[in-house]
Chain A
Amino acid sequence: MTSLALSPACCGPGAAALALAETPTLTAGPAVDPAAFVRRETDGICRLDLMAENIHCADCIRKIEGALRAFPAVTAARVNLSGRRVAVAWRDGEVEPMRLVEAVTRLGYPVAPFDPALLDERTKAADRELLRCLAVAGFAAGNVMLLSISVWSGGSDMDAATRDLFHWLSALIAMPAVAYAGRPFFRSAVAALKARSLNMDVPISLGVILAASASLMETMHGGLHVYFDASVTLLFFLLCGRYLDRQARAKARSAAEHLLALTAVGATVIEPDGRRRSLPVAELLPGMILAAAAGDRIAADGLVASGSSDVDNSLLTGESLPVAVAPGASVHAGALNLSAPLEVRVTAAGENTFLAGIARLMALAEQGRARYVRIADRAARLYAPVVHILAASTFLGWLLFSTAGFHGALMAAVAVLIITCPCALALAVPVVQVVASGLLLRRGILVKSADALERLAQADSIVFDKTGTLTEGTPRLVDGGAIPAEGLRRAAALAEASRHPLAQALAAAFEGPRPKATDVVETPGAGLSGTVEGRRLSLGSRAFCGIADRSASDDRMEIWLHEQGSVPTRFVFADRPRADARATIDMLKRRGYRISLLSGDREAVAARIAGELGIEDWRAGCLPADKVAVIESMAAARRKVLMVGDGLNDAPALAAGFVSMSPATASAVSQTAADFLFQGRLLAPVAFALAVARGTERLVRQNFALAVIYNLGAVPIAIAGLATPLIAAAAMSSSSLLVTLNALRLKRLGA
C-alpha cells in the first residue's frame, strides 16, 4: 500500500525521528467525525484529544496550534510532540468539532480522535510511581553514602558517639526510603510467592529488607558495621534498570498504539433519518448502514446497499488486484474502498464475521507461545534457591562452629545476602535490551513485547508472506520504456484523477510536467474517461476501451488507453519485490536460515516471485488456516519459525509463529499480533533485527557469566565474615558498572 497521506511542507523526519509518514493509516480522504469522542465538562468547555500524523518539529507545533487558536471559540490547543497528539478545548456550541479536525487535516496532518482514558492511563500511573521511587531512592542513596563515607574514612579517629549519630541519621533516611522505594519489588515478590514461584524480586526484597533491619539492630546496639548504604544504593540501581526497561518498551508500545488508534477509528453510520454519526467498530450491529468514502477501509462485513466501486482486498487475502463491487456484492471488514463512495449494510457482527474467524484462529494459534519462559526468570529459578540456601548455611555455620553467637552469625548471613543480591543479574537483561530496542528504534523497528528479542534470537526458519511483505504491495508499470512518451504523458494526466492502484501507478510512472485532465468521469470497476489537451481519452479495462483483440490476454495486470483515431496502448503492471528483497534473502540463507514463502495469491504470481527471489520452498493459494497448519507442522519438527506477514489473512500465522514481524503498513490485527513492526520500503530491517537479536542474546549470556564470576569471587569473602560495608558497596557498584558497560558494546552493531 502506498501512502496516500498528504505530506506537510516541513522538515523531513530527522534521523532519530520515527518516519511514520510512510504508513498508510490515514488517507487524504474525508476526515472522521470526532463528535463521539468529545468530552463535555460542567463549565461549558469541550475537550477533544487527537492523534496526528507527520508532526516532526517546532514548525509543525506552531502551525497546528496556530490554526486551532485562530478559532475564536478555542480556549486552548496543545501539541504533544512525544506522543504526536493534539489536545484542544473550546467553548461548547460555538464551533463544530468537525471544523477543528478539518483545519488540522488541511495543513497536511491527518488526525484521528481517540479516548485518552482507554489508552495508557494505567501504564502512565505506573511510570510516574517508578520515577517517584527512583527519586526517593536516589536522594537516600546520595545522603546515606555521604554519611557512610565519613564513617569509613573517619575510621579510628572518629569517636563512638559521632559514629552512632551518623548511623542513626542514616537509619532515619534509609528506613523510610526502603519502605517507599522498595514497593515495586515487594509487590512483585509477594505476587510471585503467592503463585508459588520465584522471580528475581524475591531475593532482592529479602536482601534489602534483611540488610536494613539488621543494620537498624546494629545501630541500636552501637555496632561497628551497618549496611544502610548498601540497601538504598541497591534499590537505586535496580530502579534505574527497571525504569530504563519500561521506557524503551513504552516508546515502542506507544508508537504501535498510535498506529493502531489511527487505523481503528470508528465507522460512520447513516441513521434512518439520514444523519451521519461515528460509532466505534465494536458497537456496530447487523442491519446498520455504513458509509465508506473512497479511500476508507470498510469497518464491518456486509452487502453493498448502494454505489459501485473497486475494493482492494490485499490485506485480507493477499490478492493483489482490486475487485469491482456493485449493489448486492459482499464486502469484508478491512477491505479498502478505492474509487467511489459506498453504502454497506452490515450483515454480520460478533461471532460470524470474517474478522471473528481470524480472531478464533489466532487465539488457538497463540497457545503455544504462552509457554515461553524468559531467560531472566529461568535464571532466577536457579539462582534464588542457591542464594537462600547459601545464606541460611552461613548463618547455621557461624552459629554452630564459632563463638560469634547469634548476632555475629546473623550479620554474616546478611552480608552474604547483600553481596549476592542480584544487582548485576537484574541489570544483565534490561540494560542490553534497552540498548537493543534503541538501536532497532532508530532503524524504524519497533519491539512490542518484552521477550520478543529473546525469541527472535532463537529463530532458525523464516516464513514470508508475499503481497506487501516480500513485495511492495503496490503495482508498478513494467514496460514503461516501450510506450511512446506522448501517450504515457497524457495517460498519466488522466490517471491522476483516480485512486485505483493501477491508475496511481500509471500516474507515478511519468515524471515531469503534465497537462490537466478535464471532464473526468470514473466508472467503478471499468475505467476513466476524460479530455486531455483537447483529445477524448478512455483509460481502463479491455472492455471499457472497446477492444476486441484477445491476443495479448494473460494473467497480468493491465490497463488500456484508447485515444480517438489511434491504436490502443496496453500498460502492463506487476507488484514488484522490495528493492533489496533478493539481497536480503540471499544474506539470510547464507546465515543458515531456512526460507519459505506462503502466499494467498494465485499460483502463477507466487511462482514468479519465488523464482525471482530464489525461494525454493513456496506454496500459493493458502487460506489463513493453511498458513497456521504449515507453521505448526514446522514447529512440530522442532523448528523455531519467524513469521513475517502483513495481511489480515496472515494474523493467525503471525500468532502461531515462534516470533513474528509485520511491516508498519500491515492491517491493524496483524500489527497487534506481531512482535516487531518495521517501517520503510526495504526488507533489510528483518535481517538487521535478527542480527541485533543474536547480538543481544550473546551479550545477555556474557553478562550472566560476569555476574556469576563476580559472585564466585565475592561470596567466599562474605561467608568468611570479612565483607565490611565498604567492600560490599564497592563490589556491588563495580559489578553493576561492568555489566552496563558490556551492554553498551551492542551499539557497535548499529554503527
Chain B
Amino acid sequence: MTALLYLVPAALFLGLLGLGAFLWALKSGQFEDLDGAAERILIDEDEPDSAAADQAKVRPTR
C-alpha cells in the first residue's frame, strides 16, 4: 500500500498538468478560430513574417 503514497500524488499531478495546459490554451486564444487553424496548415509559409507571429500582435485588443 505504500505505493499509493507516490502513485496518487503522481496521478493527480499529471491530471492537473493537463487541466492547466487546457486552461492556458483557452486563455491564449487557441480556441478562437478552430476552422482557420485547420486550414492554415495548408499554407506554405516561406515568408519570414509568419502568421504565428501576427497572432500575438493582433490578439491583445480583446
> Which residues of A come within 8 Å of B, CB atoms?
39, 47, 57-58, 61-62, 65, 69, 75-83, 87-89, 116, 128, 131-132, 135-136, 139, 142-143, 146-147, 162, 165, 169, 173
Listed by A's residue number, 18 A-B pairs whose Cβ atoms lie within 8 Å are A58-B40, A61-B43, A65-B51, A69-B47, A77-B58, A78-B54, A78-B55, A78-B58, A79-B36, A80-B36, A81-B33, A87-B61, A89-B57, A128-B26, A131-B26, A135-B26, A143-B12, A162-B1
Size of interface on B: residues with Cβ below 8 Å to A: 32
Chain A residues with CB under 8 A of B34: 82
Within the complex, the shortest CB–CB distance from A15 to chain B, in Å, comes to 14
CA distance A132 to B32 in the complex (A): 14
Contacts of B42 in A (CB 8 A): 57-58
CA distance A647 to B31 in the complex (A): 37
CB proximity of A67 to chain B, nearest CB, Å = 13
Chain A to chain B: the 8 pairs with minimum beta-carbon distance, closest first: A81-B36, A58-B42, A76-B57, A58-B39, A76-B54, A82-B35, A139-B19, A81-B35
Decide if A82 touches B19 in the complex (CB within 8 Å). Answer: no
Residues of chain A lying within 8 A (CB to CB) of residue B18 = 139
**CB pair A136 B57 closer than 8 Å:** no
Asked if B36 and A139 sit within 8 Å, CB to CB, the answer is no
Q: What CA separation (Å) do A173 and B12 show in the bound complex?
A: 9
Interface residues of B in 1-57 (CB under 8 A from A): 1, 4, 8, 11-12, 15-16, 18-19, 22-23, 26, 31-36, 39-43, 47, 49, 51, 54-55, 57
Query: Chain A residues with Cβ under 8 A from B32's Cβ?
Result: 80, 82
User: Closest CB-CB distance, B30 to chain A, in whole Å?
Assistant: 12
Interface of B is mostly: helix
Partner of A78 from the list B4, B8, B51 (CB cut-off 8 Å) is: B51
Q: List 19 additional contacts besides A135-B22, A136-B19; criterion CB under 8 Å.
A: A39-B61, A47-B61, A57-B39, A58-B39, A58-B43, A76-B58, A77-B58, A78-B51, A79-B36, A81-B39, A82-B33, A82-B34, A87-B58, A139-B15, A139-B16, A139-B18, A142-B15, A162-B1, A173-B12
B40 and A61 within 8 A (CB)? yes
Which B residue sits closest to A55, measured CB to CB? Answer: B36
With A78-B55, A162-B4 known as contacts, the answer to whether A131 contacts B19 (CB < 8 A) is no
Which residues on A sit within 8 Å (CB–CB) of B39?
Answer: 57-58, 61, 81
**Closest beta carbon of chain B to A415's beta carbon, Å:** 27
Query: How far does the alpha carbon of A82 sit from the alpha carbon of B34 in the complex, in Å?
Result: 7
Do residues B58 and A135 form an inter-chain contact, with CB atoms below 8 A?
A: no
Which of A77, A146, A162 lies in contact with B11, CB distance below 8 A?
Answer: A146
Option from A61, A75, A116 in Cβ contact (under 8 Å) with B62: A116
Smallest CB-CB separation from A162: which chain B residue? B1
Q: In whole Å, how far is B41's beta carbon from the nearest beta carbon of chain A?
A: 8
* Cα distance A80–B29 in the bound complex, in angstroms: 12
Q: Which residues of A contact B1 (CB under 8 A)?
A: 162
Please determine whether B43 and A62 come into contact, CB atoms closer than 8 angstroms: yes
- B36 close to A135 (CB less than 8 A): no
Shortest Cβ distance from A127 into chain B, in angstroms?
Answer: 9
Enumerate chain B residues within 8 angstroms of A132, measured Cβ to Cβ. Answer: 23, 26
For A76, the chain B residues whose CB sits under 8 A away are: 54, 57-58
